[in-house]
Amino acid sequence: MAIRRTSNPRRKGPTPAKKPVGALRDPSAPPADRELAAALGASEPLWRRLTRELRVAHGPLADAWSFSTTSGWTLRVKQPARVLVYLTPSRSHFLASFALGEKACAAARDAGVPAAILAIIDAAPRYAEGRGVRIPVRTTADLEGVLRIAAIKVATTR
């Protein structure tokens, strides 16, 4: 009989279970507009504004939905050469996720990005592609911060 390890030997206590991130979890098909609107709730106008303003400022952009068992459905907003941002619908808000290089992180500090977003950037895990930054968007101020980060990402990766 195999012993199943329930905790990380480097940590005290059990390993916390990963909480699912996204609200749209049916893998059979990408979400329809009404499903997206229902999941986003009051943040749906923020989602629409973000996608519209990204297209105006950084277009042409292509959208591609992808599904994962941990995140559910995520919208990849892509420029021709790279993904600009990943948008993951959650209940009553959404996550805007970026892979930010160190130049972009430094530029964010110099650009007057809100302190809450800088704290998220500083705490983000580092990967080969850059820091994995996930910003929850619930308010117009959050949206403005995400638009600023997107502009910084574009400016520092040309």
DSSP letter, residue 48: H
Residue 131 lies in a domain: yes
90-107 pLDDT, tens digit each: 988 999 999 999 999 999
Q: Give domain status of residue 95, yes or no.
A: yes
User: Can you give the pLDDT at residue 3?
Assistant: 47
For residue 50, being part of any structural domain is answered with yes
Residue 62, in any domain of the structure = yes
| pLDDT for the residue 22 | 74
Low-confidence ranges of the chain (pLDDT < 50): 1, 3-9, 11, 13-18
State the pLDDT at residue 129: 87
Structure tokens at 103: 């130049």
Q: Are strands 130-137 and 72-78 parallel, antiparallel or unpaired?
A: unpaired
Structure confidence at residue 87 (pLDDT): 97
Q: By 3-state DSSP, what share of the chain in percent is helix, strand and coil, each rounded to 5?
A: 40, 25, 35
The most distant pair of C-alpha atoms in the chain lies apart, rounded to whole Å, by: 60
Write out the residue range of the structural domain in which residue 102 sits: 33-156
Domain presence at residue 101: yes
Into how many domains does the chain fold? 1
Alpha helices in 14-101 (DSSP H): 33-40, 44-58
Cis-peptide into 60, omega within 30 deg: yes
pLDDT at 26: 77
Element (H, E) at 21: none
Tokens of 18: 């990963």
The domain spanning residue 128 has which CATH number?
A: 3.90.1150
Q: For residue 5, tell me if it sits in a domain.
A: no
Asked if residue 26 is part of any domain, the answer here is no
Cβ distance 108 to 14 under 8 Å?
Answer: no
pLDDT value at position 16? 45
CA dist., res. 70 & res. 84, Å (int): 21
- Amino acid present at 85: V
Residue 39 lies in a domain: yes
Q: Would you put residue 130 in left (φ > 0), alpha (ψ -120 to 50) or beta?
A: left
